[in-house]
Every structure is written in C-alpha cells, then in structure tokens.
Structure 1
Amino acid sequence: MPHAQFVPLRIFSSYTMLDGAIDPKAIAKTAAERGFPAAAITDRNGLYGSVAYAKACKDMGVQPVIGTMLAVARPDRDGAATGFGPAAPTIDWLALYAQDSKGYDNLCHLVSRAHLDRPLEFEAHVVLADLVGHTDGLICLTAAGEGALVQLLAGSQQAAAEAYLDRLQELFPQRLYIEVARRNDAQEEAAEEALIDLAYARDLPLVATNPARFADRSFYDAHDAMLCIASSTHVDSTDRPRSSKEWWIKPAEVMEELFKDLPEAIANTLVVAQRCAVMPPKRKPILPSLAGDQEGEAQMCAEDSRKGLVLRLLPYYPEAAHGELERLLCLGPDAQPDAADYPQLNVAGVWEEVIGYRDRLEFEVGIINRMGFGGYFLIVADFIKWAKEQGIPVGPGRGSGAGSLVAWALTITDLDPIKLGLLFERFLNPERVSMPDFDIDFCETRRGEVIRYVQRKYGLDHVAQIITFGKLKARAVLRDTGRILQMSYGQTDRLCKMVPNHPTDPWPLPRALNGVLELKREYDRDPEVKRLIDLAMQLEGLPRNSSTHAAGVVIGDRPLAQLVPLYRDPRSDMPVTQFDMKHVEDAGLVKFDFLGLKTLSVLRKAVDLMGKRGIEIDLSALAWDDEQTYKLLQSGDTVGVFQLESEGMRRTLAAVKPTNFGDIIALVSLYRPGPMDNIPSFALRKAGREKVELLHPAMEPILRETYGIIVYQEQVMSLARELAGYSLGQADLLRRAMGKKIHAEMVAQKADFCAGAAANGI
C-alpha cells in the first residue's frame, strides 16, 4: 500500500482522559490501515501514552511523532506573560513536537513544569517565559482555534496577535508552523484569512490539521457520551460539552479535498513528520550510588553481605566458633578453605552447613554484581535499616525477595531462605534479566516517614510516586452510561449484576453479551438496553482517571524531570511519573515498593500495650512451635489474625488442624481460586486418610511437606531441576511461562522438559 501524502499531527489519545478516546495502540493501527507514513500523539500537558504509542508504531511500521498540547497562560495586554496572580489565568495551547533527544528532554521538562510549578487550584500550565531555554529540538504548531493566535485574530486584536507571534518566532526560530484546521469552527473560520495573510507576510509555513479524538465516524455517539460522563451531565442536557462529527482521524483524501486550495499545508505535514525522528529512550537502570560507582557498589555489597551473614549465623553456633565463622565467611569467593583450619566448625554436619551458606552467599553476590544490581540492594538495605533504627515496624519479607540470602544478610528480610527452602533464582534469574523487586511492608501509620527519609537523602526532585490509571470496566461503564442516559438506577443495577465479575476473571461486556443468556435477551428486545450496552462496549477499557500506585516509588540519580514527564496528584505533595509501572522501567527508573500494612501497626500497638503492663515481647524472637498457638489455630478462632481471619479460612484451619509452620504457609498459599480445590486432599493426606501418590519417586522429597500436592512455584522449579535436568535459571523460565499462561512458550517448554526427563531415564 503506497504511503498517503498526509500525516495527522493532532491526535488526542485516551490518555487525555475522558476527552480523547483512542488507545495509543489503536492510533498506530489506524495510521497503518489508512496508509499514513507517520502520526502524532498530542495529549494535553502529558506524554502519558508516548512509550506505549512508540512501541505500537514500531510494530505497525508507522513512524511515531511524539508531541503534546502544552497549556500556556495568555499574555496580558502589555505582552508579558501573566504569572500566578489572584485570578486563574486564561489558558491557551501550543502543539509541541520532539525532533530529537534534546527535544524529548525539553518536552519532559515543560509538561512536568506545567503540573508542578503552579498553585493546585489552577489548571496545569506554563507561562511563555518558562519556555526560554527549553525549546531546542522542539517544533511548534500554533494550535489552531485552541491557540492564542487564532483567538486574538478572531477578536480583531491584530497588534496583540503580531506581538504574540513575535514571541513564538523568538522561541522557535525556523521551527514554527501556522496551524490551520477546517472543522466547522466559527472562530477558526473568522480568523483564517487573517491567519494565512500573517503566515505569508512573515514567510511562515502553513500546516493542515484536524484535531482528532476518535478513529472513526461511528464513534461519535460514544464520544459524546464520554463527554457527558466527564462533565456529569445527561445526553439530553442542552448546556453541556458536545462532541463533533469532525473529530475523527480523517483519511488523506478527505484532508486533501478540504485543503485543495492550500496544498502546501498538506505537504508540510510530511515535512513536520520528517523533522521529528525520535523515540522515547529505553535506558538501562538508573540509580543513585551509595558507593561512588558500580565497582564501589559491587565491593560494598559483597563486604556488607559477608559481615551481615556472620551476624545472622552467630546464634546458630556455639560462642567458641564465632571467630572462626567470621574468618571463614569473609574470605571472599576465590578462597578454598581447609576444614582443618577451623576446628570449632569442623564438626560433622556443621562444616557442610556453614560451607553451604558461604557458597550460596558468594553465588548470589556474584550474580547480583554481574547484573549491576549491587546498588539496588544497598539502597533498600539503607532505608530499611533507618526505619528499624526509628522503631518503625518492618515486615520480615514476602514475595520472591525472601529467597535471597544476600537480602537476609543485609537485613532487608528476616527469613533464612536456606532453612525455608527458598530459591534465589525465583527472585533474580541470570538467564532472564529483569530488575529485582522487593515487596517491603512498613507499619501503615509510619510508612510516610520512610518515604520522607528517602526524599531527604536523595533530594525531593529525585523521588516520585508512580501513576496508575483507573479504567472504564464493564460494570462501571454500564453504570456511568446508564446515568448519562437517565435510565433508572434499578434497571442499570440489574443489568450490571448480570455481568460476571469474578476477581480473577472479570468478564468484558462482549463476552457477557455472548455468554449470559438473560443479558442477551434484554439486549435484543429492549432498544434502550441495546443503546446502553452498545455505547458502554465502545467506551469499555478506556482510562477514566489517574491515581498513584499504592506502594511504588522511584528514585533517580538526577532530577526526575530530566528522565520522565511528571505530574502532581492533588492528594499528595510528591511528584508522580506520567509513565505507569511498566513503562517507567523502560525509561530507566527502578521501582521500590513501600507497602503500608495495617497488621504491623496493630502488632506494634499490642506490643506497646503489653509493655505498659510490664510484659516485654520481642516479635522477632517468638517460637514457631508454640503448642498453645497451634491449638488456637486448630480451633479456627482466628478473627483478626492476618490472612487467617476470613470465615472460609477459619473453617479450613479447623478441618486441616495445622501442627507446624509449614502447614500455615501451605494453607495461605492454597486458599485462593483454583488451588483451593486441593484443600480437601491436603487435609485428608495430612490426617493419613488419603494415600499420597506420586508420578515418580524423585518427587517425594520436594513434595513431602505438602503431602504430594504442588503448592509453591519453588516446587515447580525444583521438580524441573530434579526430573528434567533444568538449571534453576531455566526452571524459572518454565515457572514464569506457567504463571503467565504463555501458550507458545509452554509448548516449547514441554518439548524441553520431556527431552530432559528422557535423558534422566524418566
């Protein structure tokens, strides 16, 4: 298909929330289908969807043009930019596009400034003075009817328009285009002749646009409904924002016909696209350094880990062996210790155990430093150490991070992974490079103190939270659409309840319409219901609002606006990345999870209350085999006990009657949709009333603690190693494919597993 001779330069994606209605991937697909060689995304004051858009364009063979619509305060009558006076400034817009990496950096800076450097009560914006020094690598379009130039000309303010254009030409020499849009807008039509005359008089290029919010004409009614949702109005209201049938991505032939008297304006869309050849950068992880450079971090991580492991292991062995223990563990990775030199440790069983710890530590340190993650471990260890010094309760560790011996040695976790049979490769796999990710629980009421510490240590502008987007999901979009159509709450609620909404498998509306007979019957027989569902299906899945990730924080080695675009959540004084958790990593930022856990707050309160009664409790020293505790658990009387308090779990405890800590771990793991089907067999096998049957005897030691039932991902990895000769790194890839249900990868893994098992004689 030959390329069209037109490029759409003004498209609002769905990240101009409740205004733009096209997912970035859909923009790329539409551009490819219509033969556009390139297409631009220009969301308001943001680059939220730019990374996803650039990736989608690459897949579709379309050149992405990365831009934004930047809000700029209207110059006052003297031509000076109004600042933040007592009244909110009048906002105009400029369309800015990144030509190169410098331009992309300037886009990040300007959209961040629009959100961060203004009073909260004002709409996000900059003033013209903010652009000074930050326009290199940027192309500017005057934004048609949304820009000051058209508005001033339409108001017969020729002198003010000339003065404004002077400023823009100073800011964007040889990079300023006069934008002309023809979309039945009275103001644009009134200003067009003067606008074109002004462009010709100054020898400024014209460029044709059709600012678009949806892909096809057929989306008009749904977009109009979206504007009603955004403004909390009804479709039948007379005084409300309205969509336009002009706001679709018009094909090249339509635009060429619209501008047949200005062919240069069409041709210049290609020129702009050709000048904008930049992709959002994909960077390696960027972190502040606590040791000067990566080499220093590697050395510090190794030394601190060895010293930390000594302290962790001292309670395991007699005092006489402590000196030998320290000497042995601090030898370094290349030493070959002789047991004869360590008489206190040279005891049957003890020597092998200590060497096991030493070898595991050196193995982990080697991988961590080879992958360049030593600095990450040091940063996490630092803020956890600070929290503990301030008496802030910190969780013992959960998730895959508990499988790291280095994490235990650095006191990031308080769980010995060797004693608990946890695997390091489950956390950090040398055969699949990805960032480590510790889930760290802090006392809910004091979590903010830890984040404030991190801000003080690294700099307020070096630390940010991560954005999340709330989507228009099936039931929610039905309710929103029913409200703007003024359907009764009872009718809408009844229809919503027909849509299955299982937590792990919520049904989208098309699936519900095909799979729920009653809903399909209502749809076919009631035109009002049909209209509701048709509109809702078009809007389903689009972003509705933005919020902040419950735990995610990023820390940079420089002001973050130099790396990513930022915005401000009105509920927090911390900046927030405009990229979500997935795409912030592409930009080189590393996520740290600061989770607030109410249970830790409750436990701290309980310890404090007992202290007032003269009872001192050390939670870290509690025994794991207390008989009275297990009697309580077996009774099911566990209301208020973290993860054991639901009615179903209490019944399960009473049925299984746990007698050791492993039983508790297994039940928490089993008590979720899918695995919970195995709970009856688990209970019967534990009680000896059901035979444990295994496919091969080699599985017995791995599945012994769970009575022949595969409960943990670590068991999957261990079975792959034992039965099919996988390395633990390879086994982690199998685990990941199973967890994500990646069919093609599972087919390949099946062949590898069978071949490996056959080679082992299984």
Structure 2
Amino acid sequence: MLLNAHTYYSLRYGTLPPPALTERAAQLGYTAMALTDINNTSCSYEFVRCCEKAGIKPVLGLEFRKEGRCLYIGLARNREGLRELNQFLSEASIEGRPLPEVAPPMQHAYIIYPRLVKPIQVFREEEFLGVRPEHVARLFGHELLQYKNKLVALSPVFFADNEGFELHRLLRAIDENTLLSKLTPRQTVKASERLMPPEQLRAFYKTQPYLIENAERLLQSCEANLRPGLHLNRQTFTGSKAGDFKLLEKLALNGCERRYAHLGTDTPAYRSTLERVRRELKVIEQQDFCAYFLITWDIVRYAASAGYHHVGRGSGANSIVAYCLRITDVDPMELGLYFERFINPHRTSPPDFDIDFSWDERDDVTDYIFKRYGRDYTALLATYSTFKGRSIVRELGKVYGLPKAEIDKIVAAPFEPEEHHELAGKIVHYGRKLEGFPNHLSIHAGGIVISEEPIYYQTALQLMPKGFPITHFDMYHGEDLGFHKFDVLSQRGLGHIKDAVDLIKQNREQAVDIHDIPRLKSDERVKAQLRSGDCMGCFYIESPAMRGLLKKLQCDNYVHLVAASSIIRPGVAKSGMMKEYIRRFHNPNGFEYLHPVFEEQLGETFGVMVYQEDVMKIVHHFAGLGLDESDVLRRIMSGKKSKGDTFERLQRKYFGNCRARGHPEDLAKEVWRQVESFSGYSFCKAHSASFAVESFQSLYLKAYFPLEFIVAVINNFGGFYRSEYYFHEARRCGGRVHAPCVNHSQYLTTLDGEDIYIGFVHLHQMEQQVAHRIVHQRAQGGAFRGLSDFLNRVEIGKEQVDLLIRIGAFRFTGQTKQELMWERVALFQPPGQERHTMSLFPQEYEEAETTARQFLSGGKAGAPEPYADAIDELELLGFPLCPPFDLLDRQFFTDTISQSARLGELEGRIVRVLGYYVCKKDVRTSKGKLMAFGCWIGQDGHFFDTVHFPPTLKRSPFRGKGVYKIEGRVVLEFGFPSLEVVRMSFLGWGNAVVE
C-alpha cells in the first residue's frame, strides 16, 4: 500500500538510507513498496536488492516535483514503464524545459496525482488520484465516489519518526538557505508523512477500504526488473561479435608488427611477443571485451585525427593488445607487466582504460563519443557529493542561527563542549546523522558509459552545465548493474606538451616528434636533465619531494623513474620502504634477498615490493598461485574486494603450496606478512609507467626547448607551483620576462625569441573582454602610438586604464606613470560627455595630481620611489618582476650564504641564508606533533629545501609569502642537501612593505 516511499536520494528531503527503509518496512510487516524518490533514480538497483533481502516486493517509480510542489507520482508497471518515466524526466532536464503540470500519456506506467488537477472524468486509463489519510473524511458525499476505481490510498514516506522529521526540516532549511525558525510549512512535508505500521494506515482508511485495495492492486500489477547483467555496455563495434574479434585481431597483429619491428620477425623475442598478443586476444574474446577495446581504439583514433595527444594509463597499460592498438605507449614486455592485472576470468569487476587528454581537448573528445554512439545510449557517470565533516557543522550552525564565531569554535574544538554555544549539542547530534547523506549529484572525474539499449531502461539523466548529461547512479551502482566505464580524463600536463610543440614550431620553425618514446628515453641530454632533478614544470616529477628523490637516486633511466614515481607515494614512503629502496639502490651488494624468488622477480627494485604487480609476482612464483588467482588475492588485500570464502581458500592454497614446495613455515609466514602489509598501499606499475612516459616527453622539451616549454606550462595554468615560480624558472633558463604591454602582450603569455611578455590574464581585475579588444585593435590597426591613440581605438573604462598604467603597459612611450595619469585624466572622456570640456578639466586636475602621486607609490603615500613599481606588481600580478631580494635593505645580507647551489659543500655547518618562500608541506610526527618541509628560492635563483622540526616550527613559524632569513645546519642525505632549521625570521618584502 506504500505507493510513495523516499530514501535520502530524495535530495535534501528524504532521511532514510535504502537499507534502513526496507528493513524498517519489513519489520512493520509490509510486503510491497514503491520507491519514488524526487526527480531521482540514483538507488533503483540498490533498492531492489534491499527489498529482495528484506522479503519485500519492489516497485520502481519517480516523484515529479517542480519548485517544491509535488506534481504527480509515476509507477513503472514493467521495464518499458521505467524507460518511459526516466526518459520523460531526462528530456525535461536535457532540453531545459519545466515539467508540465499534467503528465503526458504513459503506456506502461501509472500516474498518481496528489490533487485534482483536471476533472476526474477525463483521467486516462493509467491515471489515478491519490487520497492522503487526512483527506479521507472529505470523500463523504463527494462526487468523486462515483469514480472509486480511480482513487488510491497515498501515504508518502520521508522519515521513520519524530527525529527523522526534525532531520527533514534541517535538510529543507539548508536547501532553502534559511533559518530553521523561518521555515514555513509549505517548504516541508507534513509531520505525518512517515513510515507508520500497516494497521495504523489501514485505520485511517477504514471508512473507505477500497482506497487501500486499489493501492495494493497497483503494486501487485507492477514488476521491477532492471535486468542487471555481466555487460550492459554496447555489445558490438562492427555489428557482430565475430566481426569484432576479426577486426581486433587484425589491428593487434598489424600493430605488433609495427611496434616490435626492431626485434625482427624471425627472432625468438618476436615470436614470444606474438604469442602473448594471441594469448591476450583469446582471453579478451572469452571475457567478451572485444567491443570495449575497439571502442577505446575508436576514441583514441578520433583524437589522433584531430591532432590531440593522449596518454593511456592505469591497469590497461598491462595489455600488449592495448599497446599494439596505440591505446597506451607502455610496453608491457619491457617492464614485465602481467595482463592478468587488467583482465582475468576470476575478476568480477569490469576493467577500464584511463585515457588522458589535454584539459582543453577533452570536451571535444567527449562530444565525439556522444555523437558517435548516440545521446540515448551515452552518458557521463555521476558521483555523489555528500554531507561530511566540518561542512555539516557550518551548514547546521547557519540554519540554527549561530554567529560565525560560535560556529568556528565548534569546528575548531568539537570535543570541548564547555566552550560551545548551548545549541552545539544539537548540531553535533544531527550532524552525525547527516554524515554521508547525498547532497547533490556531481560529475565523475571522467567516467562514460555506452549502453547497448537506451540508457533510460536503467536510469534517468540530468544535464550538467557543460552540456553533457550524467546518469543518476555512480560508478559503484554502475558496476553492480553491469556497466564498465570508459575513463576519458583531462590533465594539464598534456596541455604543456601540446602547447610547447606548437610554440617550438612558431618560435623556432622546428617540428618535434614527441611520440618517438624510445628515442626520448635513450637521449643523453634528457637523462642528464632527469639526473639533475631540474624538472620544474615536468609532469609528475616537479614537486620538491620528487626532485629531491631523483637527485638522491641519481635517476637517469625509464625503469628507475617508474620505480621513483611509485615509492614516493605516501604508503610506500610512510612504511620506510622508500628509504630502504634508496639505500639498496646505492649499495646493491649490501643486503640479502629474503629468498631467491625475490632476487629473480624483484631484482629491478632490489627486493623491495614497490608495485601492486609485485604482490602477484611473489605469490605466483614463490607459492605457485595462478596469475589470475594472484590478482584476486591482491584486490582482496588492498580492500577493493571484500574478504570471504575466496580469501580463505587462497590463503589455504598459499600455505599448502609453500609446504609442497619445501619452504620453511617461518619463511612462508614472513612472506605472507610482507605481502599482506604491503598490498594495502601499493601502486599499479602500469599506472606509474604511463606517468613516466609523459615525464620523459616533458623532460625532452625542458632539456632542448626550455623557454617554449615553460611558457606552455604558464599558459596551461597547471603544475605544482603558482605561475610566479614558472616565470622565475623562465628567467633562470635565459628568458627575459616583461610586464604586460599593450603593444606586445596577448591574453596569454607570449614568447618572441627570448622575450617573454606576461599575458593580460595574469593582471588582477583585468577584464577578459578588454584584453581581447586590445589584441584585436592592435591586429587591425597596428601598434599603439601612445595613450591618446590607445584611448581613441579601444573601448575601455578608466579603472582598466589605470591598471594598465600602473603595471607599465605604456612604458614604450617613455613617459612616467605620473605623466600618463595626467594624460589619462585629460583624454579620458566618460560616456555622454564632450571631450576636453574646459569646465570639467580644472576640477579634475587636482584629483589627477593626487591620484598620480598615489600611483607612483602603489597607492601608499610616502613609499620610496625605487619600490613603487614592485608594489604595483605585487598588487596587480601577485609578485614582483625584480628579484625579491632587491627589495631588501643591505643589512639583511650580513653573514648570509648567497650561493644556495653550494649548500652541499657545507655539510654539517651552521649557515644563514636568505630564502624566498615557494611552498611548504605540513606533516605529523609519530607522536602527532606538527613539523614541516619548506622549499625556497635562494639569492642565486636556485631552489633549496629546509626541514622544520616541531620545536623550531613552533618557535619560528611560517608567516606567508615573502623573504625569510633562515639559520640552520646543512645535512646531506644520499648527496642531496637540506637545511635543518634552527631559527627563521620573516623579512616580508623589506622596504617595499605591503600591508
């Protein structure tokens, strides 16, 4: 009889998780129930599973709401009815039109109206009027009694009890952005819309029992069949599975011949490679993944035809078929990667390829997928943004009306109630209940599903701001249903590479083949660049920690870079294995392998397990488990698959095989312990190998074309550091960095020979439209001759002109900023007034003189003239264009080391250095105390690193951006110097003080 039940996926309305709803209903004795979340189908499949577990018949539907009003409820009679409802809701969202007040005809779904929106005489066969418990008395003597067959009991369910109602009210107040005390009854549902016992519900309808009977009849006539399966994705690429295999086989074999031509087709190495290709093809066919490979190949092929660069990464790089199809550039034969890590018969979850494109090209690739495979069959995956942590406290604090200061106290010290407002207890209580509730739908990082049948059979869609629709389910619900996703991702590192290649062609008239990976990996200049740690701007290897690791390892080849990219990750580093790896790297004969299998299989990483694949190697070669079983064990240990009978079976098999192979019990237990403890934080080798390929491409460009590369990094606004430090790096590489100029700058930063002109985009408060007008007018009429010519040709407001004057964009005129300000006042004419109106000029002249004086000093009366430009640059760009040390009084240089690049020669000595702050990383010691690692630019332009232990950090804290005087002891770790700080003082910007 429950035709209108809601879970917490009725976003900011419902309060019951799906399991709680079904379990409670079963306890009360309900045998059937309809899920009708508000404009949402997120948990349809989860609800069906929960109902089956609870012994309840599930019915699926939707409640259609507009502006807080329930328009009607739809119940799917069968799969076609679910499609009808989902498609109706989706088309309204995709087309941007409001839901109609009256539902359209439905052939396979029932429509229930909560109020009489049209005469009941014209209700269609599938339409009914819902009667709430409180409205039953109104039926006495009403003409509606002539149409009893069109009336049904309608008792909405949003919560289970009074506390649930209060939680509902809090959600509504958050949604309406209002105080709880100002929430109106129209903004919430009624307190009676709860899950009440069946007998209580029947009592409400005892005078009109047919209402209950009609509702039960509707429920019994509906069937919820989502038809989950192993694959719901598009089943074929060519139109038949046989055709798919033939095409995939041809592409793979032809690709193998091209990729491995250097081996010679008559060699044992080539025959072994070809055998692996055929073995993979057989598994791919058996597992029914031919279409998945071909669709991925099609996506990559389109991108290549459009001139887009991509990186195929993730576990898919374990596949030699993927390498032969050029989906990835990682050679699994070179790195000893196992295909079973990607696909094997025992893997229940679907595999996926991660395909990275440049951030500004991904949307076009996505658009191709939608157009190629059809909008009714294609969608992005959703992800759920949930209520969590401090944000809940802030949201609840606002709706309870607490001042910000009181909310901040609760957030800062949640376990000190004596310091809190009296309402803090309620906030914490309801906050715990709200934890994990879905808040709104968002877009998965890049997951796309392509369905065999219209996707509306499984979900409704919601249009997102970029113009692509998303499913209502996330990747986990999608996996449960049987979808395997295509990950089409974006990263700015690829934009760096693409734009650098274009700049090289433009600036040097040279074409660069960035896809010749074997040549890049063997280039001596690139190796030297990697070994030096001079990797700023290079994808994945530019952070201070990574650059330090590369120098400690003296890493200069692809294999070791793959390892370095893995051991620096938090899990490996925290376990102490990173230090052990470095120690063994420098002293390969100074340790003993645990067993010859470790030396044979992990010799590349000196017996240290670095990758997820290492778990597979050890349990396969040491204990004889199959590779597919080894991958299953790895997934269980890493928490990606729940423990159960499979884990216990594999554990028994491991120890049984060890005994059969004669391994001592103690050795078998130790290997098991290492495998079990390691697998929780291991990293996929294929993933790291994909990153390393991109790193080598970046390194090549940095080594041979540093200015073009750094400008490309700047223009993609991506990287570990802020733009300022890339401008510093460009200067260090020989570039001449100039402030924005109306005669040279574009919207983005430009490179002309060795001259780098900062783009208008970096000028704070500069309007994008004005910047484009400047560039357009210069292209149309040539260079500007002066301020007067500029104002005559460019439509611009005086505030924008002031920005340009202050940053020096008219310095080509030879005039001072003060002179330009006077000229601006004289020439600039507000709209609707005559130029050079004498009556206006005198009264503006004094203003102009005052303004000019302010501009000379960056708006600060009395600032010394040599620092005025730096102050303007700090305010308008965020950093000075001169070295920051030039702004200091000479007294600060006393007793300091000016050459930070020579710190390594001063091991053990206490030194003082001046450092310009770049970044810091806070960490906790084993005792929970705060310490930090700092990164700085020295007076010579070189980077150096500092270590701040808890006592020093507390005594000499970081105080933001600027110059610091640092005193500390120089320590060397594997040849890499850092400064253990004793004391540190903040100098800021010296004489150019900015408040």
Provide the TM-score with structure 2 as the length reference.
0.62
1:310 aligns with 2:283: no
CA contact (8 A) 2:149 2:214 kept: no
Instruction: Give the structure 1 partner of residue 203 of structure 2.
Output: 257
1:589 is displaced (CA, Å) by: 4.2
Residues 682 and 494 of structure 1, relative CA distance in 2, 3 Å threshold = farther
3-state SS in 2 of match to 1:617: coil
Residues 131 and 623 of structure 1, relative CA distance in 2, 3 Å threshold = same
1:458 aligns with 2:355: no
The 2-side partners of 1:665 and 1:195 are apart by: 79
The 2-side partners of 1:204 and 1:107 are apart by: 23
The 2-side partners of 1:358 and 1:652 are apart by: 37
The 1-side partners of 2:375 and 2:129 are apart by: 39
Q: Among residues 611, 614, 637, which one is paired with 2:505 in the alignment? A: 611
Instruction: Give the structure 1 partner of residue 467 of structure 2.
Output: 573
1:405 is displaced (CA, Å) by: 0.7
CA contact (8 A) 1:656 1:682 kept: no
Instruction: Give the structure 1 partner of residue 85 of structure 2.
Output: 107
3-state SS in 1 of match to 2:142: helix
Instruction: Give the structure 2 partner of residue 229 of structure 1.
Output: 174
Q: Among residues 646, 662, 667, which one is paired with 1:761 in the alignment? A: 662
3-state SS in 1 of match to 2:36: strand
1:277 aligns with 2:171: no
CA contact (8 A) 1:470 1:545 kept: yes
Instruction: Give the structure 2 partner of residue 360 of structure 1.
Output: 276
1:413-424 → structure 2 map (5 Å cutoff): 413-424=328-339
The 1-side partners of 2:141 and 2:593 are apart by: 82
1:592-650 deviations in whole A, cap 9, x for unaligned? 11111110011111112122213432222243244444444444443322222333333
1:34 aligns with 2:28: yes
Over the aligned positions, Cα root-mean-square deviation in angstroms equals: 2.6
1:91-150 deviations in whole A, cap 9, x for unaligned? 76222212223322322232223323443xx4xx1464x733x322x233222xxx3x1x
Aligned AA for 1:377?
F
CA contact (8 A) 2:317 2:332 kept: yes
Percent of paired sites with the same residue? 28
1:478 aligns with 2:393: yes
Instruction: Give the structure 2 partner of residue 12 of structure 1.
Output: 6
Aligned AA for 2:113?
T
1:730 aligns with 2:708: no
The 2-side partners of 1:728 and 1:43 are apart by: 44
Instruction: Give the structure 2 partner of residue 131 of structure 1.
Output: 104
CA contact (8 A) 1:393 1:600 kept: yes
Aligned AA for 2:309?
P
3-state SS in 1 of match to 2:37: strand
3-state SS in 2 of match to 1:418: helix
Unpaired runs of 5+ in structure 2?
Answer: 664-995
The 2-side partners of 1:406 and 1:483 are apart by: 56
Instruction: Give the structure 2 partner of residue 376 of structure 1.
Output: 292
The 2-side partners of 1:44 and 1:36 are apart by: 22
The 2-side partners of 1:490 and 1:752 are apart by: 60
1:440 is displaced (CA, Å) by: 0.3
1:558 is displaced (CA, Å) by: 4.8
1:595 aligns with 2:494: no
1:293 is displaced (CA, Å) by: 0.7
How many positions carry a matched residue from both structures?
654
1:352 is displaced (CA, Å) by: 2.1
- In our comparison, the structure showing a higher alpha carbon Rg is 2
The worse-fitting range, judged by mean Cα deviation, of 236-245 and 98-107 is 236-245
The 2-side partners of 1:30 and 1:238 are apart by: 29
3-state SS in 2 of match to 1:67: strand
Instruction: Give the structure 1 partner of residue 807 of structure 2.
Output: none
CA contact (8 A) 2:461 2:472 kept: yes
Q: Among residues 622, 647, 650, which one is paired with 1:749 in the alignment? A: 650
Instruction: Give the structure 2 partner of residue 208 of structure 1.
Output: 153
3-state SS in 2 of match to 1:619: coil
1:530 is displaced (CA, Å) by: 1.0
Aligned AA for 1:651?
G
1:492 is displaced (CA, Å) by: 2.5
1:417-436 → structure 2 map (5 Å cutoff): 417-436=332-351
Instruction: Give the structure 2 partner of residue 142 of structure 1.
Output: 113
Ranges of 4+ aligned residues in structure 1 off by more than 6 Å:
none
1:640 aligns with 2:537: yes
The 1-side partners of 2:548 and 2:451 are apart by: 48
3-state SS in 2 of match to 1:419: helix
Residues 697 and 587 of structure 1, relative CA distance in 2, 3 Å threshold = closer
The 1-side partners of 2:514 and 2:2 are apart by: 63
Residues 66 and 557 of structure 1, relative CA distance in 2, 3 Å threshold = closer
Unpaired runs of 5+ in structure 1?
Answer: 1-6, 73-87, 153-160, 326-344, 346-350, 499-518
CA contact (8 A) 2:410 2:420 kept: no
Instruction: Give the structure 2 partner of residue 688 of structure 1.
Output: 587
Instruction: Give the structure 2 partner of residue 516 of structure 1.
Output: none
Residues 520 and 118 of structure 1, relative CA distance in 2, 3 Å threshold = closer
Aligned AA for 1:719?
I
The 2-side partners of 1:681 and 1:228 are apart by: 54
Instruction: Give the structure 2 partner of residue 179 of structure 1.
Output: 130
CA contact (8 A) 1:523 1:530 kept: no
CA contact (8 A) 1:71 1:114 kept: no
1:661 aligns with 2:661: no
1:57-98 deviations in whole A, cap 9, x for unaligned? 1222222121111359xxxxxxxxxxxxxxx9x976222212
CA contact (8 A) 2:463 2:469 kept: yes
Instruction: Give the structure 1 partner of residue 858 of structure 2.
Output: none
Residues 253 and 563 of structure 1, relative CA distance in 2, 3 Å threshold = closer
Aligned AA for 1:461?
D
1:536 is displaced (CA, Å) by: 0.8
Residues 636 and 483 of structure 1, relative CA distance in 2, 3 Å threshold = farther
The 1-side partners of 2:257 and 2:39 are apart by: 53
Aligned AA for 2:110?
I
Aligned AA for 2:626?
S
1:690 is displaced (CA, Å) by: 8.5
